[in-house]
Amino acid sequence: MSRKILRIDMESESLKFEDLPEDYKYLGGRGLTSQIVADEVPPDCHPLGPNNKLVFAPGIVTGTSAPTSGRISVGAKSPLTGGIKEANAGTSFSQKLARLGIGAIVVEGKPSGAMYKCLKLDKDGVQLVNVEDLSGIGLYDAFAELRSEYGEGLGVCGAGIAAELSGANSGIAFNDTEGMPSRYAGRGGLGAVMATRGLKFILVDDEGAEGVEIEDEGVFERGRKKLTDALTEHDVTKPGGALNSYGTSVLVNIINEAGALPQKNFSRGSDDRSAKVSGEKKSEEIKKRGGERPHRCSPGCVIGCSEVWTREDGGDPVGVLEYESAWALGPNCEIYDLDTIGELNRQCNDLGMDTIEAGNTIAVAMEGGVKKFGDEDGALELMEEIRNGTPLGKILVNGTEFAGKAFGVTRIPTVKGQAIPAYDPRAIKGIGTTYATTPMGADHTAGYAIAPEIMGVGGEEDPLSPEKAELSRNLQYSTAVIDTTGHCLFTAFAVLDIPEGLEGMVEEVNGVLGTDLTVDDIPEIGKGVIETEREFNKKAGFTRQDDRLPEFMREEELPPHNDVFDVPEEELDRVFGDLG
Amino acid sequence: MSRKILRIDMESESLKFEDLPEDYKYLGGRGLTSQIVADEVPPDCHPLGPNNKLVFAPGIVTGTSAPTSGRISVGAKSPLTGGIKEANAGTSFSQKLARLGIGAIVVEGKPSGAMYKCLKLDKDGVQLVNVEDLSGIGLYDAFAELRSEYGEGLGVCGAGIAAELSGANSGIAFNDTEGMPSRYAGRGGLGAVMATRGLKFILVDDEGAEGVEIEDEGVFERGRKKLTDALTEHDVTKPGGALNSYGTSVLVNIINEAGALPQKNFSRGSDDRSAKVSGEKKSEEIKKRGGERPHRCSPGCVIGCSEVWTREDGGDPVGVLEYESAWALGPNCEIYDLDTIGELNRQCNDLGMDTIEAGNTIAVAMEGGVKKFGDEDGALELMEEIRNGTPLGKILVNGTEFAGKAFGVTRIPTVKGQAIPAYDPRAIKGIGTTYATTPMGADHTAGYAIAPEIMGVGGEEDPLSPEKAELSRNLQYSTAVIDTTGHCLFTAFAVLDIPEGLEGMVEEVNGVLGTDLTVDDIPEIGKGVIETEREFNKKAGFTRQDDRLPEFMREEELPPHNDVFDVPEEELDRVFGDLG
């Protein structure tokens, strides 16, 4: 059984299955969402108008036994950046979708009414059910209600209150293994694209599903074993390794030490108090509280970087508290209390917001005098403003750049309208080169130069050197391929250092698709994905002026290195060539 | 005495006079502000950051006895559009500045503190005085206080509460002949550029000034007479003519009849109730109330299109209630009461906001459910939100596109972020072609195609024909020249139809500058100004995708013509050639 596209017109409420077109046969995940968006969405449309479409796609190997491959890609024209967007999350939802034989869900049309719907999928078919009673309700409760009504084991995806407010900071939440809404395709406002189409939730039941078709089991199995071996060998990804022991927050102390952990809206690169929110400290607390660590975002992950963070008494579990979230809602707001950060993260998950964008928004609001830096209760009050849909909430839910404008702040850390993640580009210039040039807006996951610049993975690079075009380009190409296969980006640590791991990943893909790809094909495939994305952005009006970091980062020195972002414009334009 | 540039660094509070450079010798008004902005402002700077500059320049003949030539141009990088901006107003302020021998004021630098200053100029020199006590006060009171303290006859310019909020809808107010803040360089957020530099007011005293140097009095005088004759002959501009009798609002009935007067956020093109806010009706009311009509915005105007609108009891004079203002704050919000519109206009003047942008913002807020369409008290309450700097006020003060995003509205009538004026481009396509392609963002004054499309001035054109590239281009070139001379755009009605009038205008310029220009030089000079502006915008990241009307105007038919905006993209790109 070959993969299908499920196409849903939310205006007419018509649902139909189509065969995956021949042209899309070798695509999955990001490669597929970006191609469909490029082929079907007019680049000049309003992101929340009737002509935008929302596309969900599991990766090529998602739903198989390939290790650490439970990613779902979501794509559309972004309300936050105005360009093409792919955001992905690790969740069993994706595996279930793939096992039902679904290559992509395309959600299109815009109903004139406001009655929210839930899309239900199982082996027997699909239907839309009214869920208007779940409007205005937090996602923790909504996910619990849906699972209680339709089955605890189902995959759940949903858009929250932030999306109902049409917020440019609204993500799409997916279930974690406890069924909580803590796995996020968070960036770029995709939740609002979903909600404005009248779609609030998707439920997937894969009971009795045929599973993912594998063209050559032998090749697949050989690849699976090679990649699994690499992941369990590499220091970063192995059991008991850095990610498994401390999660992504292992980076807090490392990046703070490197002078690149942004404090107080990107005004300093380190602060001794950062240690209070480190992965080591968090791991210790989780043990005391009876949370979980290590933990997996989806079945079949051999890294296990996740966790379940709880309140001090072990109650009100949040799900994972990632490095990015802990930083954005923490040091960037001069907040150094893990419980406050956990509560802020829980609010983001519950409201349906990206934590990176939300933390940056709060920091900019603090710079604009709305609250004081370090005001923990004040930050939590801002979340209530969003929940209540007040005018202040409507400012905040639209993200960092929007809030900066409302509050008269000119130090706004965004690229293409999207907030910058937890590595200050003035102290680590390869990641800054990625922020500037990825079609996605500031996004560390688009070409994770931290690996060679800080971790010594995939080579070693001086973080302060401004010659990073080639590094960023290569990483962006290979990332686009990983995002297409459905593997977690963290598999990159192993495959960058262990050639057999990379071979294994390619063999898994060959096994599933019946192709004869080699590792040498990777750059060309990645290039194809990114060119499709950049072409969309160009038609949407992007130029090389959009491939730049904010003015203040080029002019204001960041302590302790006291450096500015000095990668020359020519170097940035050399990443992909000039858009004109 | 040749003209000087007065350069003010607001960070160091240093003031200095420079000779007008040789390159700028033949420039004035818009030609000069745009050239200085292009030469001195980095196109990628933050409009409210330290690298933007604000430039004031009287026109070439401003301050002489040339008829209807009291315009002041203000230029900067716009916080509203992100591109170059020139907005101009008619006011004695400009004439006084010119008579002091000042070709331009350049305001630069950004102080770290927030102590607002007033710049005082007279024949003996300049100084900055603290006016922190005038912060947070409405401009009617502030202008009155300044004139009471420093002299009733002074020219006054100021930025209001909207500018103090860093609002992208904040204009710069200039005194009318009563000393009220009713003459506005309103569009594009120039007030915020002024206020973020710490400058709140400018006072100009021209007592004892040497006056504008005229190279050849005979040539000037010949030109002045020809232009005056043309203006007093032409039906639109003559005493007792359309503008003199009814002001700009004479257009209400005409454009409503043409099906192009936007109602209810651009959802219909006519409504019988529009007659209640027509120029004829207003003129009648002014007579009853003891306001003034006709009236001049500045001494030496032979058209006299202005007026003083008051409350029913003759109190609380507003100043002029223009067609654009009456429409934006009226029919576009489904408000058809002149007293409410007058009060809304008074609030805009008092807060320091552009009425076109403000009316569109209110209409979009109404579409977003913040108030109901037609809610007169509700509209006035929104003005109070801005005055009080509430979160809702901070949304509204940032203009139409910003408010649309906050309130989840997708029918947002803007081009380059600036709200569309009172002619629906689906029913009058030449003006739509100008909205799309002018470097200024939607601006009817940039190339007023209404003249031939509706008024039969300067030829006759079918408003529904989509072939308008050449018409718009020619009008935009000639407008750039008029804006450079310092004449009011309304002189165009006479000079488009009466060849001697146009000759007269050129001779005035030759007289002042000692040049030998002919009417044949006009297109080339205008082209030069617009190319400078477009080049700035290109470097700021604009592409041909920015030269487009909003999606909904291309898809949604406008009653009663039931037409969409169907000027092809190729025709729009043909206006100035492709930006790439």
The arithmetic mean of pLDDT across residues B362-374, rounded, is 98
Asked whether residue A351 carries a pLDDT value surpassing 50, the answer given is yes
Q: Are B94 and B61 in contact (CB under 8 A)?
A: no
Q: Considering CB atoms only, which of A45, A406, A546 is closest to B551?
A: A45
The arithmetic mean of pLDDT across residues A300-315, rounded, is 95
Is residue A509 assigned to a domain? no
Q: Is A8 helix (H, G, I), strand (E, B) or coil?
A: strand
Q: Which residue matches tokens 């699976």?
A: A224
Residues B259, B193, single domain; the answer is: no
- What digits encode the pLDDT tens for the residues A216-230? 999 999 999 999 999
Domain C-terminal end among A360, A395, A424: A424
The arithmetic mean of pLDDT across residues B298-305, rounded, is 96
| Token duo for residue B344 | 């809304």
Helices A279-289, A338-351: crossing angle, 10 deg rounding: 80
CA-CA distance, B276 to B273, in Å (whole number)? 6
Asked whether residue B286 carries a pLDDT value surpassing 60, the answer given is yes
Residues 276 to 305 of B: which have CB under 8 A from any A CB?
none
The DSSP-derived string for A98-115 is HHTTEEEEEEE---SS--
User: Sorting pLDDT into bands at 50, 70 and 90, what band is B330?
Assistant: very high
Asked whether residue B355 carries a pLDDT value surpassing 60, the answer given is yes
The arithmetic mean of pLDDT across residues A331-350, rounded, is 98
At residue A560, the pLDDT reads 96
- What digits encode the pLDDT tens for the residues B437-489? 999 999 999 999 999 999 999 999 999 999 999 999 999 999 999 999 999 99
Q: Give strand pairing partners of A78.
A: none
Nearest CA of chain B to the CA of A394: how many Å? Answer: 6
Nearest chain A residue to B412, by CA: A46
The arithmetic mean of pLDDT across residues B386-410, rounded, is 98
Enumerate the residues of chain B whose CB falls inside 8 A of the CB of residue A542.
Answer: 541, 543
CA-CA distance, B578 to B203, in Å (whole number)? 43
| Token duo for residue B69 | 């030539």
Any idea which of A285-294, A463-472, B495-504 has the lowest mean pLDDT?
A285-294
Phi, then psi, of A220 in degrees rounded to 5: -60, -50
CA-CA distance, A162 to A349, in Å (whole number)? 10
Share of chain B above pLDDT 90, in %: 98
At residue A266, the pLDDT reads 98
At residue A1, the pLDDT reads 59
Residue of B11, B41, B44, B390 to mutate for A, most A C-beta atoms under 10 A? B44
At residue B291, the pLDDT reads 87
At residue B142, the pLDDT reads 98
- What digits encode the pLDDT tens for the residues A408-442? 999 999 999 999 999 999 999 999 999 999 999 99
Interchain CB contact of B386 with A (< 8 Å): no
- What digits encode the pLDDT tens for the residues A318-334? 999 999 999 999 999 99
Could B49 and A410 be called an inter-chain contact, meaning their C-beta atoms sit closer than 8 Å?
yes
Residues B188, B332, single domain; the answer is: no
Residues A196, A258, single domain; the answer is: no
Enumerate the residues of chain A whose CB falls inside 8 A of the CB of residue B197.
Answer: none
The arithmetic mean of pLDDT across residues B315-336, rounded, is 96
- What digits encode the pLDDT tens for the residues B462-475? 999 999 999 999 99
Q: For chain A, how many structural domains are there in total?
A: 2
Which residues lie closer than 8 Å to B149 by C-beta, 6 or more apart? none
SS (H, E, C) A377-405: HHHHHHHHHHHCCCHHHHHHCCCHHHHHH
Tell how many helices (H) and how many strands (E) occur in chain B. Answer: 23, 16
- What digits encode the pLDDT tens for the residues B75-116? 999 999 999 999 999 999 999 999 999 999 999 999 987 699
User: Sorting pLDDT into bands at 50, 70 and 90, what band is A577?
Assistant: confident
Residues 27 to 56 of B: which have CB under 8 A from any A CB?
43-46, 48-49, 51
ipTM value: 0.95
At residue B580, the pLDDT reads 45
Asked whether residue A239 carries a pLDDT value surpassing 70, the answer given is yes
Could B168 and A405 be called an inter-chain contact, meaning their C-beta atoms sit closer than 8 Å?
yes
Residues of the domain holding A259: 249-424
Enumerate the residues of chain B whose CB falls inside 8 A of the CB of residue A367.
Answer: none
Q: Which residue matches tokens 């009417």?
A: B519
At residue A580, the pLDDT reads 45
Q: Considering CB atoms only, which of A391, A410, A546 is closest to B390?
A: A391
- The answer to whether the peptide bond before residue B560 is cis (omega within 30 degrees of 0) is yes
Domain C-terminal end among B376, B407, B424: B424
Beta-sheet pairing, A418-419 with B4-9: unpaired
Nearest CA of chain B to the CA of A535: how many Å? Answer: 13
Is residue A536 assigned to a domain? no
Could A545 and B541 be called an inter-chain contact, meaning their C-beta atoms sit closer than 8 Å?
yes
Enumerate the residues of chain A whose CB falls inside 8 A of the CB of residue B413.
Answer: none
Q: What is the CA radius of gyration of chain B?
A: 22
The arithmetic mean of pLDDT across residues B417-434, rounded, is 98
Asked whether residue A208 carries a pLDDT value surpassing 60, the answer given is yes
User: Looking at chain B, how many residues does it have?
Assistant: 580
CA-CA distance, B199 to B110, in Å (whole number)? 10
Q: Is B266 helix (H, G, I), strand (E, B) or coil?
A: coil
Residues B33, B168, single domain; the answer is: yes
Q: Which residue matches tokens 């001494």?
A: B299
Residues A261, A382, single domain; the answer is: yes
Is residue A40 assigned to a domain? yes
Residues B274, B178, single domain; the answer is: no
The arithmetic mean of pLDDT across residues A544-553, rounded, is 97
The arithmetic mean of pLDDT across residues A367-384, rounded, is 98
The DSSP-derived string for A186-202 is -TTSHHHHHHHTTEEEE
We report the CATH number of the domain holding residue B68 as 3.60.9.10
For chain A, the average pLDDT equals 97
As a dihedral over the C-alpha atoms of residue B133, residue B134, residue B137, residue B138, rounded to 10 degrees, the angle is: 170
Asked whether residue B1 carries a pLDDT value surpassing 80, the answer given is no
Nearest CA of chain B to the CA of A39: how many Å? Answer: 18
Interchain CB contact of A112 with B (< 8 Å): no
Is residue A442 assigned to a domain? no
Residues B145, B286, single domain; the answer is: no
At residue A340, the pLDDT reads 98
Residues B269, B166, single domain; the answer is: no
CA-CA distance, A480 to A525, in Å (whole number)? 8
Nearest CA of chain A to the CA of B192: how many Å? Answer: 9
Is residue A484 assigned to a domain? no
CA-CA distance, A130 to B371, in Å (whole number)? 29
Asked whether residue A114 carries a pLDDT value surpassing 80, the answer given is no
At residue A113, the pLDDT reads 78
At residue A274, the pLDDT reads 98
SS (H, E, C) A407-473: CCCCCCCEECCEECCCCCCCCCHHHHHHHHHCCCCCCHHHCCCHHHHHHCCCCCCCCCCCCCHHHHH
- What digits encode the pLDDT tens for the residues B128-150? 999 999 999 999 999 999 999 99
Nearest CA of chain A to the CA of B395: how many Å? Answer: 6
Residues B35, B140, single domain; the answer is: yes
Is residue B504 assigned to a domain? no
Asked whether residue B578 carries a pLDDT value surpassing 70, the answer given is no
Residues B196, B303, single domain; the answer is: no
Q: Which residue matches tokens 């003005």?
A: B383
Domain C-terminal end among A204, A220, A236: A204
| Token duo for residue B363 | 């209409």
CA-CA distance, B57 to B78, in Å (whole number)? 17
Enumerate the residues of chain B whose CB falls inside 8 A of the CB of residue A412.
Answer: 46
Share of chain A above pLDDT 90, in %: 98
Nearest CA of chain A to the CA of B463: how many Å? Answer: 26
Interchain CB contact of A568 with B (< 8 Å): no
Asked whether residue A192 carries a pLDDT value surpassing 60, the answer given is yes
Residues A262, A173, single domain; the answer is: no
Nearest CA of chain B to the CA of A128: how many Å? Answer: 24
We report the CATH number of the domain holding residue A330 as 1.10.569.10
User: Sorting pLDDT into bands at 50, 70 and 90, what band is A238?
Assistant: very high
Nearest chain A residue to B42, by CA: A551
Asked whether residue A236 carries a pLDDT value surpassing 70, the answer given is yes
Residues A272, A199, single domain; the answer is: no
Could B405 and A51 be called an inter-chain contact, meaning their C-beta atoms sit closer than 8 Å?
no
Is residue A303 assigned to a domain? yes
Beta-sheet pairing, B117-122 with B199-204: parallel
CA-CA distance, A283 to A291, in Å (whole number)? 9
Q: How far is CA A194 from the centre of its chain?
A: 16
Is residue A117 assigned to a domain? yes
Q: Are B183 and B297 in contact (CB under 8 A)?
A: yes
